Amino acid sequence: MVGVVAGVVSALLLSAGLLQGATNPWQGLFTATRGAQIWLHLSPGTNVAQLRSQVGGIQAVAGPYQATAATVAQGSQRTRVELRATPSVPQVGRPLLVTGQWLAPRSPDGVVLEATFAQAIHVSVGSKIVLDNVDETARLTVPVVGIAETADQGFYPDQTPGLIWVLPGLLRRIEPNPGHTEEVVGLRIASPAADGFIVQQVVTQLGSSAVGGISTWQQVEQSMARRNPLLGLLLALFGLMALGAALLAIINVTSGRVLIRNADLGMLKTLGFTPAQVIVILTAEHTILAGVGVLAGLAAARLLMPVLLGTVPGVSLAAAALPGGWTAVIIGGTLGAVLLATAAPAWQASQVRPVAAVRALPPRGHLSRLAGTAMAARMPPAVVLGTRAAFVRKLGAALVISGLAIPMLMITIGLGFWSTLNDVQHDPADIGLAASVTVSPGTLTPARAGQLIQADPQVQAAYSCVRAEALTLGETTTITTLGMGTSARPYPFHVVAGQLYHAPEQAVATQALLTALHLSVGQFVRMWFGGVPVTFHIVGRIIDPQYDGEVLAYGRDTLADEGAPTPIGFYSLILRPGVSPAAAVTRLTRMSGGRLDVAQVPNPADQLGIVHVALASLIAVLALIGVTSLLTASLLGQRDHQRDVTVLRVMGLTPVQVRVALMMRTTVLGLVAVVIGTVAGRLVSMELVNAVSRLYGLGAGLGRPPSAGTLALAVALAIGVAALAGILPLGPSSRRPAAAVLGP
Amino acid sequence: MIGEGDRLLLRAASLTKTFSGDGVVVPAVRGADLSLRHGEFAAITGPSGSGKSTLLHMLGGLERPTSGEIWLDGQRVDQLSQARWAVLRRRRIGFVFQFFNLVSNMTVADNVELAALMGGASRKQAAARRRDLLGELGLADKADTAPARLSGGEQQRVALARAMANRPALLLADEPTGNLDSAATFSVLRLLARAHADGQAILLVTHDSRVASAADRVISLFDGMVADDAPVGVPAPPENGSEMPLPRVLRLRG
Amino acid sequence: MPLLALLAKEPAHGYELKTQLEQVFGEAYPAPNIGQIYVTLQRLERDGLVRSQDVVQATRPNKRVYELTDAGREAVVEWVDKAGDGPRVRDEFFMKLALSHLAGTSDRLGLINRQRRHYLAQMRSLSELAASADRSIPRLLIEGAMLHLQADLDWLQRCQEELV
């Protein structure tokens, strides 16, 4: 039992950690870096020394750090960055080194990059990067000495520019003009909820002209969380299952354990323990065992987390750190489940009579017609007896069946998730990511850019697109809309409801947008593009995780027709199958002499490595639970059956027949359970995915049923295990001498 | 003697059983010989620890002898596999243990019927046989009860019915009246007598001399060996002066 | 009768017999006094089962040594081989058991077996009698007898355990 509890606890901790780390790493990072909730970009020379005394609620101030804008040049690619001069390791908002070392005077040119930025531009410790200042008057090549994580800024590229920490000397060399620099100050406040209020006060104190930019922790947190609604979705699903599985496991093992000990408990009663004392003894014992299990689980989780994360890109150890509250909940919940699962059987056990318990059987009378007929029809008696034995105690049979059906149900759901996952990974078109590369004309003319693209043999199809901001009634911010392709040649969105746009003023939208605007498919909506109104007819619904999942897409000719301004144009390229996007990016960049701005479309599926791991481990855990429950049931039945076995042998059942009969017991129950679980699971899994998907704003349509082959394999395995469980604990007993078994 | 072997239902020669385990060696049966003719009723008596049960178990194929031979109806059976023994027991041997004789998750009636079915009877025959046996034992009203609800004595009687349900050539019973009161013992004896009269061969182990005296022969086991094997005869006429067990009054009736 | 059995082993005079009796039976059997022994010996002589001889001793008075006649020997054998009945049979039987070792007349196991067979036969006839008894009082009487028999058989077993 200790093992199961430990396994459950560590699994829950690991999975919660993964969930946290992948979907909302902010909390962990913030705690680990002793972060600041408010970051201010101020004009150079602003005096912040008095801030703490002037504004209440500020615990600590980070900085002020001098910072300047710059660009990193990689070949033809230029990326904007912020250089932040930190003379020493900050105490507040302390960046967490992932690899390499922090800035040191012995390496005055050395720089430390923020982790997600470094990943985005494919730079690691030891490489050299080229820094240009804004005016392009200075250029330095500097070595990257370290990569660190921070909670002060959202992930790149969601929040730009990329962050690089440098020594003050380097900053001055890049940007000698203090007028081009900023002061960056971080405020760590006592009460996070009061950030808005404190910001107001600070701005009042410093004067709004001094304040260039403000960012608060909510923005950062959201930015970090928003990164991947798809990931969040899948991990949330997984989390539900994990919880259910965990509860199941614990209940199973705990109550099974109590039931097995019935004989001992009878003995205790005989010795003179009152029922109340028996309950206390049992509960205490189980709590202690559970406690040991919890400790073991904690330790295991701590050890395993780095290993686990090693297989998964993009999630750091700090990010995966659980806030104390969660850990307490997990531990408390586990112990609670143990106590709960102990309570009922404990009470029942305390009622165990001191004399050997007499099991009350429902008299079935006359070999129940079915069994009798089967026997008379010369069906193998072993099979008939075994099947009959399985159902004699209806409650017991029901428990065994549910003990196996529920894990089976969840495994099937898990397999459904797996196929959904695979589908997303291998068919990104289904989530609107048909194009894997986008190209902006950069310094070329759109026409020239178009020519180059068309000429590239690696490109299967190119769609000319625009991104336009629109306003709708009642919204204070603009909505990003996309003119993808033309009405005649629309971008191949995967439409889950309705149809794609085929005429001007037709549009498709994501569920999130529809919900935000209180619309549904078939309705009309009016939007203003730079003051020009356009009415769209929403003809279909798509799934697209970009732009917070709120996307409205239409043929870009609609805008042209209406005379609306069409600002940012770009190309979405669908590559030929088998062509790697990275290769295409390099190629196009080279072909254009670096003047095309080519970028790879990030595929959220790339980060789904975690989910694969998580799902696989969860399915393993569920399988374990199922096996445990089967073994427990079989063990319980074994005691009853050892003596029956000998009588049956005497009546003339051969050892093989005895084994078959025993096997049938669990096999029949297992079969029923597996069928129930699988069928239900298949029905439920797609619905579940769609439901949670709606929750995350992605809308329904993502769910996929589990693959038939895998399901068949799982079913076969389950039944096989059920059969084995029937005979495994009993192996030698079918041959044991009768006298030994039939002792008084 | 040559001809005798064919008439014997059961013959055991130099049966030995030694249990060894945990470093302790226990010789339970040390070279026992016995034989049983068709339709003969023999009782095995002896103190506890004399190896009676072990001997009986060996004869029923539930224990493998350490050495010795067992012949059942002219067929050598001591080296048979468990599977073969099982088939043998189905039709030819009925066995009653000292405890726990019944399948616990079936009713009394089912237990008896199952034995009959396994012996090859049809459903109707099995049901009839069950009614007959249970009636004879006064347990007809308990037919639908679970074994666990019966007293030890009732269970033993049902076990006897079970063992006889398949009309075995040889009935082996280990203390079939062990837990019974006088009246129950009487009904068991009556059943055995009736079966015996029908030609049933019975070999039972008992410490109850009343049961033993009902047999044709009594085999006395002591310390793993046969100490005496003699038919139960007519008592010698009382000599003058010594007392009969019975008071004078009843002697007149004899 | 026990004297006869003792003499079967070897001739002895009265006092020796008394000592032997005491040795064999100890406290369980009240040793008869020497006078009773001499009286019994004389009676046996008169019945022709023993004969006596005077042995001349140098320093002591003459003692009379008794020994078995052929008739006496036969009687002993007969006595030992026959199973007995009644409550005193226990004592008699036990005597036989204890003395047969000395008398060398028959093996103890055989003795026990014979007695057992006898009891069993009696049990059988009692059993048959009980089956035909239709009134409770006679039946109870019979049952009482059977219980006594069972006790005797159990005691027989104890003897077997201890003495064989």
What does the DSSP 8-state code read for residue A488? Answer: S
More confident residue, B30 or A621: B30
| C-alpha A17, offset from chain centre | 10
> How far away is chain C from the Cα of B209, in angstroms, using its nearest Cα?
6
A478-497 pLDDT per residue, tens: 677 888 888 888 888 888 88
Chains A and B, touching by 3 or more CB pairs within 8 angstroms: yes
Contact B99 A657 (CB under 8 A): no
Residue of A nearest to B65 (CA): A737
User: Mean per-residue pLDDT for A40-65?
Assistant: 82
Contact A366 B103 (CB under 8 A): no
What does the DSSP 8-state code read for residue B245? Answer: S
Would you place residue A159 in the very low, low, confident or very high pLDDT band (cuts 50, 70, 90)?
A: low
Residue B220 near chain A (CB below 8 Å) = no
**From CA B135, how far away is CA A107, in angstroms rounded?**
105
Contact B114 A375 (CB under 8 A): yes
Nearest 5°: the CA angle A60, A64, A70 is: 135
Q: Which of A361, A655, A739 sits opposite B105 (nearest CB)?
A: A361
Contact A361 B148 (CB under 8 A): yes
pLDDT of residue A395: 67
Contact B123 A373 (CB under 8 A): yes
Would you place residue A366 in the very low, low, confident or very high pLDDT band (cuts 50, 70, 90)?
A: very low
pLDDT of residue A516: 77
* B234: chain C residues, CB-CB within 8 Å: 121, 125
Q: Percent of chain A scored above 90 by pLDDT? A: 2
Residue of C nearest to B43 (CA): C120
pLDDT of residue B4: 45
* A743: chain B residues, CB-CB within 8 Å: 99
* B209: chain C residues, CB-CB within 8 Å: 119-120, 123, 149-150, 153
* A365: chain B residues, CB-CB within 8 Å: 107, 109-110, 143-144
Q: Which of A359, A365, A742 sits opposite B100 (nearest CB)?
A: A742
* B113: chain A residues, CB-CB within 8 Å: 366-367, 372
Contact between residue A95 and residue A165 where contact means Cβ atoms under 8 Å apart: yes
Reported ipTM: 0.78
Q: Residues in chain A whose beta carbon is closer than 8 A to a beta carbon of chain B? A: 358-361, 363-367, 372-373, 375-376, 381, 389, 392-393, 640, 643-644, 646-657, 735, 737-739, 742-744
Contact B117 A381 (CB under 8 A): yes
Residue of C nearest to B220 (CA): C113
pLDDT of residue C2: 66
Name, of A62-71, C102-111, C129-138, the range with top average pLDDT.
A62-71
Contact between residue A591 and residue A442 where contact means Cβ atoms under 8 Å apart: no
pLDDT of residue A730: 47
pLDDT of residue B250: 39
pLDDT of residue A172: 87
Across chain B, where does the E strand assignment appear?
A: 8-21, 24-37, 41-45, 67-72, 75-76, 93-96, 170-174, 201-205, 217-222, 225-231
| pLDDT of A7 above 80 | no
* C79: chain B residues, CB-CB within 8 Å: none
User: Mean per-residue pLDDT for C19-34?
Assistant: 65
pLDDT of residue A189: 86
| pLDDT of C130 above 70 | yes
| pLDDT of C139 above 70 | yes
> How far away is chain B from the Cα of C122, in angstroms, using its nearest Cα?
5
User: Mean per-residue pLDDT for A369-393?
Assistant: 68
Chains A and B form CB pairs within 8 A to the count of: 122
Question: End-to-end distance of chain B based on CA atoms, in angstroms?
Answer: 40
Q: Percent of chain B scored above 70 by pLDDT? A: 89
| pLDDT of B178 above 90 | no
Write down the residue that tokens 């600041």 correspond to: A36
| pLDDT of A224 above 80 | no
Radius of gyration from C-alpha coordinates of chain B: 19
Name, of A446-460, A558-572, A630-644, B190-204, the range with top average pLDDT.
B190-204
| pLDDT of C122 above 60 | yes
User: Among the listed ranges A171-185, A218-232, A567-581, which one has the minimum average pLDDT value?
Assistant: A218-232
DSSP string, A41-95: EE-TT---TTHHHHSTTEEEEEEEEEEEEEEEEETTEEEEEEEEE-SS--SSS--
More confident residue, A12 or A262: A12
Query: What average pLDDT is seen over chain A?
Result: 76
> How far away is chain A from the Cα of B148, in angstroms, using its nearest Cα?
6
More confident residue, A445 or C27: A445
Backbone angle region of A314, left / alpha / beta, with phi > 0 → left and psi within -120 to 50 → alpha: left
Nearest to A143 by CA among A185, A109, A92, A181: A109
More confident residue, A309 or A586: A586
Write down the residue that tokens 């769209």 correspond to: A536
User: Among the listed ranges A553-567, A692-706, B24-38, B163-177, which one has the minimum average pLDDT value?
Assistant: A692-706
User: Mean per-residue pLDDT for B209-233?
Assistant: 89
Query: What average pLDDT is seen over chain C?
Result: 75
Residue B83 near chain A (CB below 8 Å) = yes
The SS3 of residue A568 is strand
* A646: chain B residues, CB-CB within 8 Å: 62, 97, 100
Q: Percent of chain A scored above 70 by pLDDT? A: 75
| pLDDT of A28 above 60 | yes
> How far away is chain C from the Cα of B70, in angstroms, using its nearest Cα?
26
| pLDDT of B211 above 70 | yes
Would you place residue C108 in the very low, low, confident or very high pLDDT band (cuts 50, 70, 90)?
A: confident
Write down the residue that tokens 């609670």 correspond to: A336
Chains B and C, touching by 3 or more CB pairs within 8 angstroms: yes
Name, of A185-189, A195-199, A371-375, A576-580, the range with top average pLDDT.
A185-189
DSSP string, A671-704: HHHHHHHHHHHHHHHHHHHHHHHHHTTS-S----
A662-683 pLDDT per residue, tens: 778 778 888 888 999 898 888 8
Chains B and C form CB pairs within 8 A to the count of: 93
User: Among the listed ranges A158-172, A304-318, B222-236, C28-42, which one has the minimum average pLDDT value?
Assistant: A304-318
Contact B123 A358 (CB under 8 A): no
Would you place residue B55 in the very low, low, confident or very high pLDDT band (cuts 50, 70, 90)?
A: very high
User: Among the listed ranges A547-556, A704-713, B240-249, C56-65, which one has the minimum average pLDDT value?
Assistant: B240-249
pLDDT of residue B59: 92
pLDDT of residue C83: 60
Contact between residue C148 and residue C85 where contact means Cβ atoms under 8 Å apart: no
Q: For residue A531, what are the contacts with CB-CB under 8 A and spacing of at least 6?
A: none
Q: Which of B220, B243, B254 sits opposite C116 (nearest CB)?
A: B220
At position A304, the amino acid (one-letter code) is: L
pLDDT of residue A112: 92
Name, of A122-136, B9-23, C11-25, C150-164, the range with top average pLDDT.
B9-23
* C82: chain B residues, CB-CB within 8 Å: 239
Backbone angle region of A626, left / alpha / beta, with phi > 0 → left and psi within -120 to 50 → alpha: alpha
A532-588 pLDDT per residue, tens: 888 899 999 988 777 666 788 998 888 877 776 666 677 788 887 777 777 787 787
Which chains have 3 or more CB–CB distances shorter than 8 Å to chain B?
A, C
What count of other Cβ atoms lies within 10 Å of the Cβ of residue A689?
26
Would you place residue B202 in the very low, low, confident or very high pLDDT band (cuts 50, 70, 90)?
A: very high
Would you place residue A353 in the very low, low, confident or very high pLDDT band (cuts 50, 70, 90)?
A: very low
Would you place residue B247 in the very low, low, confident or very high pLDDT band (cuts 50, 70, 90)?
A: very low
| pLDDT of B210 above 80 | yes
More confident residue, A735 or C142: C142
User: Mean per-residue pLDDT for A50-77?
Assistant: 82
Residue of C nearest to B47 (CA): C157
Q: State pTM to two decimals.
A: 0.61
pLDDT of residue A636: 63
| pLDDT of A311 above 60 | no
Given CA atoms B190, B191, B196, B199 in this order, what sign does their dihedral have?
positive
Contact B245 C122 (CB under 8 A): yes
pLDDT of residue A697: 63
Which of C120, C152, C164 to substitute to test the interface with B, most B CBs within 10 Å?
A: C120
Contact B105 A640 (CB under 8 A): yes
pLDDT of residue B14: 92
Q: Which residues pair with A129 in a beta bridge?
A: A142
* A364: chain B residues, CB-CB within 8 Å: 106-107, 110
Across A104-241, where does the E strand assignment appear?
A: 111-114, 128-133, 139-149, 162-166, 181-189, 211-216
pLDDT of residue A12: 73
| pLDDT of C133 above 80 | no
Contact between residue A282 and residue A368 where contact means Cβ atoms under 8 Å apart: no
> How far away is chain C from the Cα of B32, in angstroms, using its nearest Cα?
17
* B229: chain C residues, CB-CB within 8 Å: none
Q: Helix A381-392 vs helix A369-376: angle between axes, to the nearest 10 degrees?
A: 170
Which chains have 3 or more CB–CB distances shorter than 8 Å to chain A?
B
Residue B154 near chain A (CB below 8 Å) = no
| pLDDT of A448 above 90 | no
Which of B182, B196, B210, B248 to substitute to test the interface with C, most C CBs within 10 Å?
A: B210
Residues in chain C, overall count:
164
Contact A738 B104 (CB under 8 A): no
